[in-house]
Amino acid sequence: MIARSPDQWSDVTSQGAPRAGRYIGDCESKVYTQTRLLTAAGFKSLGTVDVQHQGGTGHMFGVFKAPDGTTWVTSNEGFRQVSPSNAKVGVTQADLDATLQKMTGELYHTQNLKGFRFSSAATANLPKPGDPAVDSIRRSTELGMMGKSEALIVPPPAPPPAQSNGNGGPKHP
């Protein structure tokens, strides 16, 4: 399977057939451009999500954390903020998954996502040095081929257990 990840700016500006005097890029070229531009603007790339389904054309999403801490998913020219299901906990991987499923259903005009496979590649797991705009796209495609996926939003570590004072109660300073 060809990953179709752009490796440089010329790949983004020359993909596709000319239409109305313009070259049209696909979703991978848009994620590449979004990753380069948004990270330069202070966003953090959390990774990419490759969506494949039986008998059809796949799609690629970008996932970003904004400087204000909000989480966003990009899809071609569109974007959507991921809303937390519990404001006290914040955005979780389950919240991100729900947003990706909703956006996929809208993109493919279906409520039935049976046969769709989501494969994420976390930017935090990419080799260093590297180019996250390229490497994340390739890795999510490769993980999809192997039927694997990575969490893009890792839950915070559990708080350490309270220390005991020897009588079963908490230890006080």
**Cβ contacts of residue 17 below 8 Å, gap of 6+?**
23, 24
Q: How many domains does the chain have?
A: 1
What pLDDT shows up at residue 14?
54
**Is 102 within the bounds of a domain?**
yes
Q: What are the C-alpha distances in Å from 87 to residues 2, 70, 76, 138, 146? A: 40, 12, 28, 33, 34
**Is 63 within the bounds of a domain?**
yes
What pLDDT shows up at residue 20?
47
**Is 91 within the bounds of a domain?**
yes
pTM here? 0.80
What pLDDT shows up at residue 98?
97
Q: What are the C-alpha distances in Å from 47 to residues 51, 65, 100, 157, 171? A: 13, 10, 13, 20, 42
Amino acid (one-letter) located at 48:
T
Instruction: Give the integer Cα–Cα distance in Å for 79 and 63.
Output: 9
**Is 132 within the bounds of a domain?**
yes
**Is 169 within the bounds of a domain?**
no
**Is 76 within the bounds of a domain?**
yes
pLDDT along the chain (173 residues), means of 10: 56 52 68 92 96 87 96 94 94 96 94 93 90 88 92 83 62 56
Parent domain of 116? 25-145
Ramachandran category for residue 116: left, alpha or beta (phi over 0 → left; psi -120 to 50 → alpha): beta
